[in-house]
Structure formats: C-alpha cells, structure tokens
Structure 1
Amino acid sequence: MASSFQTLKMNSSSPLMITNHPYYPLEVEIASYLANEWSVPVLLGSFSTLCAAILLGTLAIVKRLHPNLPGKEKAAIWWFVLSGCIHLFFEGYFSYNHTRMGPAQDLFGQLWKEYALSDSRYLTSDPFVLCMETITAFTWGPLCFIVAAFITTSHPLRHPLQIIVCTGQIYGLILYYATSMFDHYYKEVTYSRPEFVYFWIYYFFINFLWMIFPGALLVSSVRRIANAFKTLEKMEAKSGATKKKA
C-alpha cells in the first residue's frame, strides 16, 4: 500500500500541511496528518462494543420500564437511540473537531480517519460534509431521542416527528451520495480508495443502513397516519348520517 502513497511538496505558507497519506485523491492536502496508532480490528472492535453496549442498555431499560411494548416498537426504540448516539456524539465530534482531524489519535478521531479512506472529505473540512454532519448531529441526533421517548408513551406526535426525522436522514444520505458521485463522474475527482472494503462496505453499505431502517419507519408512519385519517373520516361520515336521521 505504501507504494500507492504520494508525497507532495510542503506548502511554505502552511507549515502544518503534511501530505504523506493514503487518501484519495492522492494530491489532497491534510493538515498535520498522522497515521492511526491503533489497528483496524481494535478500532472496529471498540466501536462495535460501544454499539452493543447501547443496544443491551436500551433493551434492558425498555424491558424494565415498558415490558408490554411490541417487539417492533422495542426495535424502533433501539434504532433511534443508536442513531441518536451516533449522530450526536460521533458525528458531533467531527463537526466540532473538523479542523483537527489529521493528527487526532483518540478513539473517534482514529475511527474517522479509518472511515475517511472511503471519503477523504472528512479530513479536509469539506463545506458540504461539514454542514450536513452538523445538521445531522445537532438536529436529527436530539430528535432521535425524543422519538424514542415518544414511542414508549404512545405520544400523538410520535409518527409526525418520526416522519420528519426519517425524511431528514434519507434526504441527507441522498445528498451525500449525490455530491460524491457528481464529483466522481463530472469532475473526475475520487474521494474513496479503490479497494472493495472502502467503497462498497464503508462508503456504500454502512451509510445505506440509514436508507433501509428510516425508510421502513417512514413507510410505517405514513401508513399509520393514513389509516388514522381513514378511520376518522368513516367516524365523521357515520356521525353525519346519524344526525341526518335524527
């Protein structure tokens, strides 16, 4: 892999620009870049452990406080809690530290540098990625927790808010894919390394989870609201017929 790295000239006016890195395009400048200290298995194992802890903790709390909730509702709560944590803390970390990603050696910083092998925009303060992640972190993140709480109480605003959050997640993902593919095909600028794992697993599959689950929840909420209005219209029609007879 080292043979594919490209050493660029250091900009004299920007002494912090270190350009010996594995990211595409190879000529991109990444401020003060340092290679990760932890191995990929350690990084992914740590992240998986955090996600498992969130899952088990959420399931334990829901089982104790709301044992009679249907399985689908429990799964929806877990998804929103997990999404909320990833949005607010992981993506929020990027939003707050985007200018210091190159040399970062804490867990989240190294995870972002590993993910950036599939999209180097995360190491260059790309305006679209920064704005998209900031909105995701500080809008959809907190709202995910609110939706999860609304599910436990059967709050009447659960489904309208769920539609808003899921639509926002899907819309952000579509723009994320679209801007990258536009640059790839129209500008011939590639942000992902060519290896299968980086493009198809990191870039495509992991992100596509936020198309699958929000999509299913969006359809469920739309159907639920449509059925509610259908039932209401039938009740109103029946009530009107009764009044006419009277």
Structure 2
Amino acid sequence: MASNAPAIFTVTSAVSLTGVAVAGAVGYFASRALLPKHIRWQDKYAFIWLTFDGIIHLTLEASFLYYSTFGRTVNTGTGPMAQVWREYAAADFRWGVADPTVVALEILTVFGAGPMALYIAYQIAADDPARHYWIVVISTAELYGGWMTFCPEWLTGSPNLETSNFLYLWVYLFFMNVIWVIIPLGLMYDSYGFIATAVRKTQAQDATKKAQ
C-alpha cells in the first residue's frame, strides 16, 4: 500500500538548498576578494553573512513578493521560483497563499533589509565604523521579523506549520529561521561592544580635557 506521507527530500529541495549554498559561497569569495588581510575575524564573518543575507532577500524573497503581490500566489504561480516556494509552503502553509502579515514583513525585508545588508557589507570593506550603528538596526529588524512571523503561529497552536516531516521541521522551519536569530544577536553583541567602548573612550577624553 502506497504511503501518502510527503517525501523527505525532493529535487526541488536539492535545488533550493543549492541556491542557498551558492549565496553563501558568493559571500565567502567576495570576502576573500574585497576585504583587507588584517581585518578582524568578526568583521570577515559579518561581511559574509550580510552579503548572503542581502542576496537571499533580493532574489529568493523578492520572488516570493512578486508572486504574492501581482494578483497571484505561490500556489497558483508558475516557474521554477514558484516551485521552490511551494516546497517551503509545504512546511509553512501561509507562504503559499500570500498571508498578509507575511507579505507585509517581506515588503520591509526586500526593500529595506536587503539593500541595507549589502550597504553594510560595503561599509565593512571600507572599514567605516558607522557600520556598527546600521548592524544594530538591521539585526533588530531581522529579529523582529522572525518574531512576528512565528509568534502568531505559536499563540494559536501553529495551525499552518507542518512538523511531521524531518526536512520541513528541522531544515526549513528550524535551521533556515534560527540562523536569522543567532547571527543577528551575535552581530548586535559585537557592535554594542564597539559602540560602547568608543563612547566611553570619548567620554573619558572629554572629562580629562575639562579637568585640565
């Protein structure tokens, strides 16, 4: 008797994850080509992440926004990107039907976070300390976006999440979302240290000048 359970891994799964890996590889090789050798390891990995982040927002998530705002949905759309998003929508049904909360968050993500991520990567390459302010801004936005994506589901018993499939639960829902929590928190911690140290140093210098 044939099973009706969804396949754990499909061709679309492979294509989707390969696309994500390619975005990460672009970030890595861009860091090798554009960053000075003496750069801190924290800045190197921040550059790789932000480049990856910007590419994902401006390609993969932009395609979702296209399917969800031009009178169609992922479930009714055609083309390879629609197929990729239908794969993810099998894990979180809201992405297949253009849920208004998800679409609203993606508008901010595509048009705000995507360009900002690439701009901050440019600031890192230029060794502009102003990047630390923008890192805090984008990290806060990423954390808020993740919270507003999943908190409504948790409060209502997660009716739109498919958790019985290993790939859907642990790769699509958990891993592909938790990295947008852990990494922004790490970036905020590093930038907080930089900003706080710089401000305290300036404050101490000002106090010394006033005392003279």
Fold similarity call, TM over 0.5: yes
Match of 2:53 in 1: 83
Post-superposition shift, 1:140?
0.4
Match of 1:180 in 2: 153
Structure of larger gyration radius: 1
Match of 2:197 in 1: 227
Aligned-partner Cα distance in 1 for 2:108–2:41: 30
Which deviations, in whole Å up to 9, do the C-alpha atoms of 1:127-174 show, x marking residues without a partner? 101111111111101100001111111213201111100000001101
Aligned 8 A contact 1:143 1:165 in 2: yes
Identical aligned residues as a percent: 27
When the two chains are superposed, the root-mean-square deviation of aligned CA atoms in Å is 2.2
Aligned-partner Cα distance in 2 for 1:237–1:220: 26
Structure-2 change in CA distance of 1:203 and 1:49 (3 Å): closer
Between 93-102 and 167-176, the greater mean CA deviation after superposition: 93-102
Match of 2:161 in 1: 192
Aligned 8 A contact 2:35 2:44 in 1: no
Aligned 1:95-174 pairs, distance under 5 A: 95-98=65-68, 99-174=72-147
Match of 1:213 in 2: 183
Structure with more of its chain in helix, by fraction: 2
Structure-2 change in CA distance of 1:203 and 1:93 (3 Å): same
Which residue, 148, 169, 173 being the options, matches 1:203? Answer: 173
Between 109-118 and 47-56, the greater mean CA deviation after superposition: 47-56
Match of 1:51 in 2: 20
Point out where structure 2 has 5 or more consecutive residues left out of the alignment. Answer: none
Q: Normalization by structure 1: what TM-score? A: 0.75
Post-superposition shift, 1:105?
4.7
The amino acid across from 1:82 in the alignment is F
SS of 1:231 mapped into structure 2: helix
Point out where structure 1 has 5 or more consecutive residues left out of the alignment. Answer: 5-21, 23-38
Q: Normalization by structure 2: what TM-score? A: 0.87
The amino acid across from 2:50 in the alignment is F
Aligned-partner Cα distance in 2 for 1:120–1:210: 20
The amino acid across from 1:108 in the alignment is M
Post-superposition shift, 1:86?
1.0
Aligned-partner Cα distance in 2 for 1:135–1:105: 24
Aligned-partner Cα distance in 1 for 2:124–2:29: 16
